Amino acid sequence: MKKLIGLGLYWGLASLGFAQEITITEAWVRSIRQGTQNSVLYLNIHSDQRLSLVGGDSPLTEAVELHSMQLTNDIMSMKKLETITIPSKQWVSFKPGGLHIMLLGFKKLPDKEMNITLHFVNDKQQKIQKTLKVPVVQTGPSKP
């Protein structure tokens, strides 16, 4: 798996005092097209324990939503999800044409990177937040 970012790919949670590890790879935000105020975050998420991704926030946007794509009568459309399960020890991929994290209502254009915080809840109902510094690029990593 080719890694997009050289550093900061791994965020452990040891400092929070419970042994839950969330690993995130290949995070990227699509650069905003002229005339639009929305964009998309793609990434891969892995956790050693089952988690629910319940939302997110960013200082640059008005809202962060979880979306999936669905095909209805040959038309692809986006659907908002309230929660996405991250099963224990499995990778969940957010990628073009599938699950994605929608960044809505940019208040100002991002530079080369932007901060996004993801909100998770674990099986003990503990809230876990993870802040990522994500590159803003035209296209994501190409798979070999």
Task: Name the residues that contact Cu ion, by CB under 5 A.
Answer: 67, 78, 102
Q: What would the two tokens of residue 114 be?
A: 């932007």
Q: Residue 137 Cβ, how far from Cu ion at the closest point, in Å?
A: 18
Q: Residue 104 Cβ, how far from Cu ion at the closest point, in Å?
A: 9
Q: Which residue's CB is nearer to Cu ion, number 30 or number 67?
A: 67
Residue-wise burial string across 64-89, b where 16 or more C-beta atoms lie within 10 A, e elsewhere: bbbbeeeeeeeeeeeeeeeebebeee
Q: Which residue's CB is nearer to Cu ion, number 62 or number 123?
A: 62
Q: How many C-beta atoms lie closer than 10 Å to residue 56's C-beta?
A: 23
Q: Which residue's CB is nearer to Cu ion, number 5 or number 102?
A: 102
Q: Are 65 and 80 in contact (CB under 8 A)?
A: yes
Instruction: Tell me the residue number closest to Cu ion, measured at CB.
Output: 67
Q: Residue 76 Cβ, how far from Cu ion at the closest point, in Å?
A: 11
